[in-house]
Amino acid sequence: MKFESEVVHAGDRKHQNCSAVPSTTPIHLSTTYFYESAAKLDRIFGQEEAGFSYSRYGNPTNQALEELMTALERSKGALATASGMSALQIAIQAALLDRRHGVVAASSLYGTSLKLLDQVFEPFDVAVKYVDFCDLPALEKAIADVQPGCVFMESISNPLLRVGKVGQIAKMAHAAGAALVVDNTFATPMLLRPLELGANIVVHSATKYLAGHGDVLGGIIVSDEEHLEPVRMLGRLIGSVLGPFESYLTMRGVKTLALRFERQCHNARKLAEWLASHPCVEQVYYCADPKHPDAEAIQHLFAPELFGAILSFEIKDADKTAVMEFMDGLKMIVPGTSLGDVHTLLLYPAMSSHRELSPKMRERMGIRDNLVRVAAGIEAVEDIMADLDQALRGRCVSATSQ
């Protein structure tokens, strides 16, 4: 099936020991399962036979979502987790289990991912080195110096939208005996499937485009065959698995992913083109820009005519106070700390996603105090433009009068 059909059908309509088959996956709330014999339960606990015993080990609703994501990412299996960050922690731990305890990570990452590496992994003697993944010679040297067990990147970096050459990076990682972990939240499997390019483990914040409606906190790990059992083992031990109701909502959201994400990508491109000539905007960052520094990688990696639904831009002559005045002036757009919802969201990285980094660190990453990030929704793009325009011009007029 094509992607647009898979999002609707994969994982659903299981035959359950009766003639009636539910058209959508039911919500299985039971924590405990038993069988007609203790011997069968023993085999299931020992993973000698498929089945369910305790919901930390597996749940029918979760399994349906995991089968859906396995199909969409062309993976060997998946694990649904309680959040995107729990997915990332398990993924990196799975990569490091039987390897050297070192990580080479992209220097441009979501702020909380940086803190996870610095404040959780480093204190347990995991050496972490950051490098620009779009500078392949520098990356190759960092891998040679650290000899890591894990190489970690985002398919599209947050918030400046850099795109590394995943296939080449995977070859570098594998040559050093490392596993490549990719956060694919911004791209979704509709835009890019890192496992097909050589990545070993891929993570998503299911909260974002997969669930898509701002009502689920969750994560997804998809894996190659080598890392699938370590991922599932860590899920069983740590227990940060997704609840069945959240799995149901995520699965329901994924069914409209193809429609939502195509519209969001279309809106983001229109917004980026319009903002590029706006008198109150200094610079726009978007993957469709022919002058994008990673244009070659984008053309090679992304699905045709899709460039993602995130853009960032710098407001001309704005400091933090001015940016917050601009945000207060928005009437339709939601100034909230997320992305992927049906409504357009605007985030201020210095306030939220990269708040806990020092100003000097943000500056080194290219995240200036006048930068905002927009996650395009599915509204009429003219209405999104009108709201941005009135808020931008209101701030520009205010600044001029001072």
- Measured torsion, CA atoms of residues 236, 239, 242, 243, in degrees rounded to the nearest 10: 110
Which distant-in-sequence residues (6+ apart) come within 8 Å of 398 by Cβ?
A: 325
Options 162, 183, 209, 260, the catalytic residue: 183
Contact criterion met (CB below 8 Å) for 212 and 253? yes
Instruction: Strands of 188-334 (E only): list them.
Output: 201-205, 219-223, 281-285, 310-315
Options 110, 130, 248, 286, the catalytic residue: 110
Options 33, 40, 54, 56, the catalytic residue: 56
> CA quadruple 228, 234, 236, 239: dihedral positive or negative?
negative
Q: Kindly give the pairing relationship between strand 127-131 and strand 102-106.
A: parallel
Residue 314 CA to residue 359 CA, distance in Å, equals: 16
Residue 362 CA to residue 208 CA, distance in Å, equals: 24
Clarify whether 364 is annotated catalytic. Answer: no
Clarify whether 183 is annotated catalytic. Answer: yes
263 burial type by CB count under 10 A (0-12 exposed, 13-18 middle, 19+ buried): middle
Residue 180 sits at the vertex; the CA angle it makes with 174 and 184, to the nearest 5 degrees, is 150
Options 162, 193, 208, 373, the catalytic residue: 208
Clarify whether 369 is annotated catalytic. Answer: no
Residue 241 CA to residue 31 CA, distance in Å, equals: 12
> Catalytic residue positions?
56, 110, 183, 208
